[in-house]
Amino acid sequence: MHSDTSGPAGNRVPISEQITPAGRRIEHDSFAIIDAEAGPHAYPPQEWALVRRLIHASGDFDFKGLTRFHPGAIEAGIAALVAGHPIVTDVEMIAVGLSRPRLAHFGIGVHHFIADADVIRQAQAENGTRAVQAMRKAWRLGLLEGGLVAIGNAPTALLEVIRLVREEGSRPGLIIGMPVGFVAAAESKAALGQLKAVPWILTEGRKGGSTLVVAALHALLALAEARDEGR
């Protein structure tokens, strides 16, 4: 399902753009400032489009350098979104932050299970984390296969997805691993960076967060819309 948005004069406004002219102008001016202040970098244009959104969302230029990409990550993310594959998140915050019109443009559903009663019961029974059980539930439901896994809060969720890839043969279309924190956050992302079977995007070290994952997904949605419109 692809939606259409038109401006006052009937000119189509990309669904990945701000709705109002003032909003678009502010966002474009922000990106221009980031481009000017960021200085030289080695990111190809599509990767930089994503990194620039991380900087825009955080005000932190450290993400120019902290952000790493599997060689096939951008193409894999675009393909998954254009195909309308689901997004699985570790926390509700990511789902709430995503633009509904941008998701609806491709007919994409967003799923998170961390607050489900069965997930909580199983985590208590195993003396583990809800994040792990939530990823296992997504895997059992078949949502990981070909989908986008977006993790911004829980390192244990990321470690479980990596285990599911290695031990259970799960094959997400793309893993975005950006958990923030001091316990296992850096280690989980380092483990993701060693994964060869599935494309990934990550932020190294302790920095990350749900806001950054939302920004990364919006960048990919914009790239996917441009690809889709170019057909």
Q: What is the pLDDT of residue 14?
A: 64
Range 44-49, long-range pairs (CB < 8 A, 24+ positions): 46/74, 46/223, 47/74, 49/219, 49/222, 49/223
| Mean pLDDT, the chain, integer | 92
**Among residues 75, 46, 70, 157, which one has the least CA distance to residue 111?**
157
pLDDT tens for each residue of 101-147: 999 999 999 999 999 999 999 999 999 999 999 999 999 999 999 99
Q: What is the pLDDT of residue 6?
A: 44
Instruction: Please give the torsion angle defined by the CA atoms of residues 169, 179, 65 and 193, in that order, rounded to the nearest 10 degrees.
Output: -20
Q: What is the mean pLDDT of residues 8-33?
A: 72
Q: Which residues are catalytic?
A: 56
pTM for the full predicted model: 0.90
The whole-number pLDDT of residue 166 equals 98
Helix (H, G, I), strand (E, B) or coil at 76: helix
Q: What is the pLDDT of residue 4?
A: 45
List the domain boundaries for the chain.
21-229
Rounded Cα–Cα distance for residues 129 and 47 (Å): 33
* The pLDDT of residue 10: 45
Class of the CATH domain delimited by 21-229: alpha beta
- Strand-strand pairing, 174-177 and 148-151: parallel
pLDDT over 90 (residue 155): yes
> How does pLDDT run across 162-207, given as a tens digit for each residue?
999 999 999 999 999 999 999 999 999 999 999 999 999 999 999 9
CA pair distance 94, 96, nearest whole angstrom: 5
Provide the percentage of residues in the chain whose pLDDT is more than 70: 90
> Considering all CA atoms of the chain, what is the largest pairwise distance in Å, rounded to the nearest integer?
59
Residue 11: predicted pLDDT: 56
Would the pLDDT of 12 be above 80? no
pLDDT for 67 beyond 80? yes
pLDDT, position 140: 98
Angle between helices 210-229 and 73-82 (to 10 degrees): 70
Q: How would residue 230 be classed by pLDDT, with cut points 50, 70 and 90?
A: low
